[in-house]
Structure 1
Amino acid sequence: MEDKKVLENFVNTIEKKDDGCYVRLPWKEIPVKPPDNRAIALRRLMSVWTSLQRDKDLLEKYNDIFQEQLRSNIIEKVTDEKKPVEDKIHYLPHQAVLTPQKNTTRIRIVFDASAHYEYSPSLMMHYIEDQ
């Protein structure tokens, strides 16, 4: 990754607010609209849901992680009132990563910015690329 550009982006776009610090993502120079990937995200959600239904304890822990991220403003619910005017909404599909041998983090959430439709770019394709 172009470390200098990423660091420059970080320094130039950091905003300090009462509820925390915000940094803009390092988009490529030419602005492009991320593809609509709602169907991919919903399919992934259904897959995760089906998997975790087999173990209610893991499903509850997975939900607890999301609830904590909501409380900490790491993630937010997107409602019709909150949708941006530019329609730049791209959902991050996620999946459960299980490590049953660990006592503290048996389950964690991994967001997948590289998920995409065939012949369509992923969200990662819109960031500063490796040189």
Structure 2
Amino acid sequence: MMKLESVGIYDNPCNKQDDERVIKQFYDTVEIHDHKIFVQFPWKSNTNQLADNYGIALGRLHQLYVGLRNKSEDQWVQYCNIIDDHIRREIVEEVQPLQKGHWSRYYMSHQAVFKPSSHTTKCRIVFDASSKRNGEFSLNDVIHQGPLLLPNLCGILLRCRVGAKLLTADVEKAFHMIYLQESERDAVRFLWLKDRRTTLTEQYANPPI
């Protein structure tokens, strides 16, 4: 009866066990240095199947370059400036090629999202950790999603109507405040144009991501 009343939506014990393992792994491995949080990925057991995705990342970089340059030189400059800013702030950094066959190497493709109406971030870079060839595994495929930590939205909507005033705030570039431990960083590489015209360089998102 309970399953019928919830229209088939009920907790999966297997998912709960995975979530508990993910939370335990987080507390066991998280590190804090100089007031910065360094974390590891919640890897699944199939990490040896992670493809490097280099070909797709390279192809999408070419599409990005051609698409933005043909559409608007100003948009291309905005995109380049964001990458330059990430490098300057050590959000990303240049890396050396790994030895062939290193299982944790993965190249994320990336694209631009433009929002001219935004007062703070008119251009945002989105990294795609799910890109892959048919039959291969992406980064998202080999890490646990983890438990849902967001508060219940219905409760938030109800509580925000109780008070006479409502205040909202946003942490600028919140995800850039979390760093990956060094052992994890080769799984979030991305390709970029070293001189914006010809030479490719490999870089990875050194979370802050």
Same fold (TM over 0.5): yes
Aligned 1:25-64 pairs, distance under 5 A: 25-53=41-69, 54-64=71-81
Q: Matches of 1:130 and 1:15 in 2, distance apart? A: 19
Q: Which residue of 2 aligns with 1:8?
A: 24
Paired amino acid for 1:44 = R
Q: Which amino acid aligns with 1:65?
A: I
Pairing 1:1-131 to 2, within 5 Å after superposition: 2-18=18-34, 20-53=36-69, 54-80=71-97, 83=98, 87=102, 88-129=104-145
The structure number with the bigger radius of gyration is 2
Larger strand fraction of residues:
2
Q: Can you give the 5+ residue segments of structure 2 that lack an aligned partner in the other structure?
A: 1-14, 148-209
Tell me the TM-score normalized by structure 2: 0.53
CA distance in 2, matches of 1:21, 1:73: 15
Q: Percent identity?
A: 33
Give the distance between the partners of 2:107 and 2:134, measured in 1 at CA.
17
Give unpaired runs (5+ residues) of structure 1.
none
Q: How many residues align?
A: 129
Q: Over aligned residue pairs, what C-alpha RMSD do you find?
A: 2.6
